Each structure stands twice: as C-alpha cells, then as structure tokens.
C-alpha cells in the first residue's frame, strides 16, 4: 500500500473480472486498488478485512453493509455499489457516519436475456435432454409450446418491458401486473394489465421483474403459488426474498407447478443442503443475470469514474440522497 494514496478494495470478484474490465490504471498515483476474489460472510471477519480501506467497490449485492459493519470501518469514506441498487446498504447509517454512497449505472439487456434462457431451458427440458444424451439416452421429454401461451410479467419497467417484447416475438399473449402498473403504459406496449390473482391463474409462465423493498418482500406467497396452473413455470431473476422460498420448494416437490427458473435466492451463495439444490424441475443459476462482459465494463468503468469524482470533490450518482 502507498502511504499517501487512497486505499480501494474491490470485493466479491468471483469471476476475476474486475481486473480485466476495470480501467484501474486511471487511478494511478491517486489510489491503490486491491481486488478480493472470495466472499466473506461473517461480519467480524469482513470488518477486519476491510478496515484498512478508504473506498470499497461492492460487486452488486453479494455483501451486505448493515450499520454494525459500517461502524467498524473507520477509514471508509466512499462505498461504490455496482449498479444503482442499494438494498444491501444501510444508507441512513452511511449518512450518519459520513460515508458517501455512489452507484455506477447498469444495463437491462443481460437480465432479460437470462430470463429467456431460463424460460426456454425449462420449456424444452434442456438440462434433462443434455444429461440424457451424455448418459446414452435419446429423446426423454415433451416440450411446452410458447407460441399461443400466456406470459405473465410482474413488474413492467424497463426490464419487464424488454422481457414482454421478446415474449410477443415468440407469439405469446402477454399480461402484466404490479402495484404501480399504469394500464396506459401496458396498453401502449400491447400488454394487458390485469390483477395479481388473474395473472397468477392465467399465465403459463410467470416472470418477476420488480425491485426488492419492504412492499415486495414476500410478494409471491404460498397462497399465490397455489393459484398457478400445475403446468405453469415461475421465473425469478429479480431478488430471492420476493418469493416465499420454502413454499416454492414445497410446490416443486409436490408437483404443484411445472417448474421454476431461479437466478436469485434468499441467501447467496446458496447454502449447501438448501432444499432448492435438490428440488425437481428446476433450472438454477448463481445470480448471473447481469454477468456479461458489457455489464462488467459499465460497472467497473463507472466505479473508477465515481472514485475520481470523489477525489475531485464532486461525487456522482449518489444513492440515498
């Protein structure tokens, strides 16, 4: 570490992407950058690791920063969240402690693309057929038609609209619901605005695209899952706690729904022995909806911009202000 330089920690770089996609050389002489490729869960160990740093670049929401952690980081002056989400940061505590919190911006395209990878993988049983061929079998399943089926989109923002348009390209009827949905916006996109119960009862595929908040936590309960057709698929690339995870695991094990494609979970990484690891008719990915080369360039370029702006006394993309 350089005595006079700002000390920057980039954490949770599972894919070892930060060094490749971030223009860290632009900080030469002004900041020393240390990249951590592992994940620290225990709050005491996390605080001990990060205590020497003035700036932390958090890779999405892989690590939480509640008050009790922030209070143990006396040098921390700037916390950069890749993307623009802040659900993992106690913003009130950060303000009280004098910690600036900045975002980097993001891209809606990659999560929409992964949503469709999960839908198509489930509908055509790709993992089963791939495993079957490798085991010497040939032709084990019967696929589900998407053309003419109904796609139910929960949350019709930028991401939900992109997912809806792709569904329309497949020839699907698209319906949508959210707590704030404007029927005129839906109609303008060729989407029918419906009630929550109607969407869950009618859709052949239900896909979730709302932010996690106190209002959306547990938005899809066990009672909601019971409304789904037994032939329906549930897709969640938003946030795990939006869906009652225990109820979903039970619905899958009982055959109450046809399957689930999940990129997000209540606890990440998904713990060993978690019921969803062995639940049938699932397609699981490790929160990679945003994980593409283009997104990482946006994230880490934005992080360097945020650090430079902070050093210049003009912080940008402030969160929680």
37-60 confidence digits (pLDDT tens): 999 989 999 999 999 999 999 998
Express each pLDDT in 5-21 by its tens digit. Answer: 899 999 999 999 999 99
Distance CA 103, CA 84 (A): 5
What CATH architecture does domain 109-284 belong to?
3-Layer(aba) Sandwich (3.40)
Fold topology of 6-107+292-311: Rossmann fold (3.40.50)
Output the pLDDT for position 175: 98
Output the pLDDT for position 5: 86
Distance CA 308, CA 128 (A): 49
Q: Is residue 219 over pLDDT 70?
A: yes
Q: Indicate the pLDDT class of residue 321, thresholds 50, 70 and 90.
A: low
Q: Are 94 and 79 in contact (CB under 8 A)?
A: yes
Q: Is residue 2 over pLDDT 70?
A: no
Q: Are 30 and 6 in contact (CB under 8 A)?
A: yes
Active site residues: 239, 268, 287
Domain regions of the chain by residue span? 6-107+292-311, 109-284
Instruction: State the average pLDDT for the chain.
Output: 95
SS3 state of residue 277? helix
Express each pLDDT in 119-144 by its tens digit. Answer: 999 999 999 999 999 999 999 999 99
- Average pLDDT on 134-163 reads 97
Model-level pTM? Answer: 0.90
């Amino acid at each position: 570490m350089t005595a006079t330089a700002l000390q920057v920690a980039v954490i949770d770089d599972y894919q070892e992407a930060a060094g490749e996609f971030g223009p860290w050389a632009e900080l030469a002489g002004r900041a020393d950058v240390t990249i951590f490729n592992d994940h620290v869960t225990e709050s005491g160990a996390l605080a001990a690791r990060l205590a020497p740093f003035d700036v932390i670049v958090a890779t999405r929401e892989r690590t939480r920063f509640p008050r009790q952690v922030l209070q143990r980081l006396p040098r921390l002056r700037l916390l950069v969240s890749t993307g623009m989400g802040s659900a993992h940061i106690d913003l009130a505590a950060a303000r009280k402690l004098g910690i600036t919190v900045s975002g980097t911006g993001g891209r809606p395209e990659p999560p929409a693309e992964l949503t469709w990878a999960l839908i198509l993988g489930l509908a055509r049983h790709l993992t089963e057929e791939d495993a079957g061929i490798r085991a010497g079998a040939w032709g084990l399943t019967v696929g589900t038609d998407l053309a003419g089926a109904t796609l139910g989109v929960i949350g019709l923002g930028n991401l939900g609209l992109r997912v809806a348009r792709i569904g329309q390209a497949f020839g699907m009827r698209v319906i949508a619901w959210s707590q704030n949905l404007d029927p005129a916006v839906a109609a303008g996109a060729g989407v029918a605005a419906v009630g929550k119960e109607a969407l869950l009862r009618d859709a052949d595929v239900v896909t979730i695209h709302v932010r996690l908040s106190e209002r959306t936590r547990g938005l899809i309960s066990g009672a909601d899952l019971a409304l789904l057709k037994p032939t329906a698929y549930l897709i969640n690339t938003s946030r795990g706690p939006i869906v009652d995870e225990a109820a979903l695991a039970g619905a899958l094990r009982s055959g109450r729904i046809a399957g689930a494609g999940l990129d997000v979970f209540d606890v990440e990484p998904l713990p060993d022995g978690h019921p969803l690891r062995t639940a049938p008719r699932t397609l699981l990915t490790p929160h990679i909806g945003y994980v593409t080369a283009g997104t990482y360039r946006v994230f880490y370029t934005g992080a360097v911009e945020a650090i430079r702006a902070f050093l210049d006394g003009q912080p940008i993309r402030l969160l929680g202000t």
